[in-house]
Amino acid sequence: MKLVQTVIEKNFFVDHQGKIYYVNYLSSDGHILGLLNRDEWEITDENHEELQVYAFQGINKNEKVKIRNNQKLANNLIKFCTEHFDNYAPEI
């Protein structure tokens, strides 16, 4: 036998300040379709809207502030999830 590729996917539901965030981690040591148009970490809110963390040229000041706040939130959520990455303990 020979191991060809390893894919790790981990899903978290995080309650943060009264809102539920769905945080998905997907990583592979090879090419997979799931990583073509996304980062390893993907964060959506309870309305299934992706957390906007990218600023594009031409956005207004209010949007920049919102994106900066979303970036801080994303960093906090990712940090929290990495700290609890191995906490899965199913009842058997």
Q: Could you tell me if residue 92 is inside a domain?
A: no
Flag whether 88 is in a domain. Answer: no
pTM: 0.86
Residue 79 lies in a domain: yes
Q: Which domain holds residue 18?
A: 7-83
Q: What is the pLDDT of residues 62-81, one digit of tens each?
A: 999 999 999 999 999 999 99
What's the pLDDT score for residue 49? 94
- Rounded to whole angstroms, how far apart are CA atoms 73 and 89? 26
Mean pLDDT of 35-54: 90
Kindly tell me if the per-residue pLDDT of 36 is higher than 90.
no
Residues 5-32: tens digit of each pLDDT: 999 999 999 999 999 999 999 999 988 8
Measure the CA–CA gap between 35 and 29, rounded to whole angstroms. 11
Total domains in the fold of the chain: 1
Strands 7-16 and 19-28: antiparallel
